[in-house]
Structures are given as structure tokens and as C-alpha cells.
Amino acid sequence: MRWEIHDDYDEVCHRAATHFLDALDRNPRIVLGMPTGRTPLGMYQRVVSACGVRPRCFAYATTFNLDEYVGITADHPASYRAYMERHLVRHTDLAAPRIHVPDGSRTGDAELAAEAARYEAEIVAAGGLDLTFLGLGRNGHIAFNEPGTPFDSRTRVVGLTASTRAANAGDFASPDEVPHRALTVGIATLLDSTCLVLLASGEAKRDAVRRLQSGEIDPAFPASALHLHPDVTVLVDRAAAGSSAEAVGAGSAPG
């Protein structure tokens, strides 16, 4: 695991966007795993402005979002489909057939299981994820893989913890509106990605970052599964790294 501790959120986003755009340059047909949440917003902004001056920026790329709420439709403003539309799709040449987001609009167990299986198979059919960007939940969740998720999990429907629902309540009109379930790619799906870049910013992530730095590997802390992968870059700012920032330093590799 490669660690980069940056001064602030802007720098984290700059580095993340550089990873993103360099990978796209090297392989225009790249298959990308796409995060949502507040943390990647600055990365998407930078990617959008860079793509504004690049012909055929996303013309051959394929994207797979990592998760989606269950029980809201794609046009709900808090859906991750709508998030992608707002922050990336409408500003770039990423064409609809190449954008994949799990469909959480149906709520029946059989329909959701079928959608999860379809989504996992679609990733495989695309040749697997080449590069996946991840945020980090305060409780260590990655995508919507909450604490206790087995490391061999694949795309499926999951229940959201109270802490995750509270952390995401700001995207909804009221906290009660936050769905209780989501579709998410699994930890094994993520570990199959050729490489991964995890972003964390701000004091609220400090405990989770510290736990990731400890090197422990435990399903109680889902992000720790990333220690099992040979090509993971962690981009954090000093607020998230806290007092350990000096000890870790850019480029060293705990865990």
C-alpha cells in the first residue's frame, strides 16, 4: 500500500485527478470503478475541466459505479446515477451505453438479487475493473461494504448501518428518507480491480485512516481488505492523517 499525505483536500483531488487522467491517457479503453460521496467531487471537477480541452476524452472508456441506494429511482437527486450525471456525465463525452450504475429502483428481493448478479457479470464481461477509485466511510466501509462484510463478497444487496445513514443524511430532504438498503459491489469485486486509489479527507476520517495505517486485516474494518491487494494508493490530507502524518510521510507503506 502506497501512502501519500498531502497538505489539504485540494492537493488530494489534484493527485487523484492526475492518476485518473494519466490512466485514461495510457489506456483510452480503460474500465473505471467510480466512487460517489463528497470526497471525490474535487477529483471529478478537475477531470471535467481537463476533458473540456481533450478531444474524445471518455470516448472509449467504460465506467462502473460502485454502489447505489435501493428504493429510489435514478431521477432522485440523491441517487448515485443522478450524482454521476451532475458531476461528470453531462460535462463530458462519456456515452450512456458505457456508464454503469446498479439499478436500485426495484425493491423485491428476487429482483435485487438478479440485478446484483447481472451487474457483477457485466463487470466481468467488460474485462474487469482496471482502476477503481474509492472513498472511505467513517466506519471503514468501502463502496457500501459495511463492517463485517466477508472479503469474498460480490455484488449484492446490503443493509446500511445507522452511522452510514446518518453520515449520508445531508443528501436527502430528511434523515428518515435515507434508504436502509443499497446495492454494492463486493470486497472481492474490488480486490479484482487491477489497481485502486483510495481518497480520504478531513478530521471525520481520522479514526478510519489511523486504523487503515495500523495494518490490521479484519472484516470488522472493511477497508483493511485493501492490504491484501498489491497495487493500492492511499491519498489523504493532513486533517485525515492527524498526528501520524509526519510518521507516515508520502511514499512509505505501512501494512
- C-beta closer to ligand GLP: residue 4 or 67: 67
67 carries an active-site annotation = yes
Binding characters for ligand GLP, 163-202, by CB under 6 A (x = yes): -x---x----------------------------------
Q: How far apart are CA 72 and CA 62, in angstroms?
A: 24
Pick the stretch among 36-44, 96-104, 212-220, 226-234 that binds ligand GLP (CB under 6 A): 36-44
Catalytic residue among 68, 76, 100, 139: 139
Q: Which of 14, 38, 54, 91 binds ligand GLP (CB under 6 A)?
A: 38
- Determine the residue type at 216: E
Q: Would you count residue 235 as binding ligand GLP (CB under 6 A)? A: no
146 carries an active-site annotation = yes
Here the cell at position 143 is: 463502496
Residues that bind ligand GLP (CB under 6 A): 35-39, 66-67, 135, 137, 143-144, 164, 168
Residues annotated as part of the active site: 67, 139, 141, 146
